[in-house]
Amino acid sequence: MSKQYGTTWWGQRWLNALTGIDHENRIPRGLSYANSDKVYALTPDLNRGIVKARVKGNYDPFYSVIIELPQFTAREKDALLDAIVNSPVILARLSARELAPENEQEALSLGINIFPRQWDDLKLKCSCVLAS
């Protein structure tokens, strides 16, 4: 049975954004590792905007992988929170524990990119670089 990824609009939007900037075949390789149970200890650190994982490698038993997401500035946070508070649709969906697609539209209207537009928007580190 194959695993499914991006089953929410939010998850699908992330996959689409990453696939759109992937010019080095990283997404299919990552999916291959994930589908073959080679990704362990996937740990998000929400306060720092970091996702860490251990990945079973070919040369070392495990590689350390860190993905750092860009942080919003204080101004961006305040503007986005104000927009959310003033949107009955977004508030209603949040109160139902749902992330509304309108969140992205509000962010874009404020000039805030939620999703990466190029690989340089992310900071990627992997101990595999040292091993190859």
The pLDDT of 66-86, averaged and rounded, is 93
CB atoms within 10 A of CB 54: 17
Instruction: State pLDDT tens for residues 57-68.
Output: 877 788 999 999
Torsion of CA 95, 100, 102, 106, to 10 degrees: 60
CB atoms within 10 A of CB 2: 6
At which residue do the structure tokens 């104000």 appear? 82
What pTM, to 2 d.p., does this model score?
0.78
Which pLDDT score is estimated for 60? 75
The C-alpha atoms of residue 120 and residue 124 are separated, in whole angstroms, by 9
Which pLDDT score is estimated for 75? 96
What stretches of the chain adopt beta strand conformation (E)?
Answer: 39-45, 50-56, 62-68, 123-126
In Å, what is the CA distance from 105 to each residue of 27, 99, 102, 113?
25, 12, 5, 10
Which pLDDT score is estimated for 1? 55
What confidence category does residue 55 fall into, taking pLDDT thresholds of 50, 70 and 90? Answer: very high
> Dihedral of CA 7/12/18/24: which sign?
positive
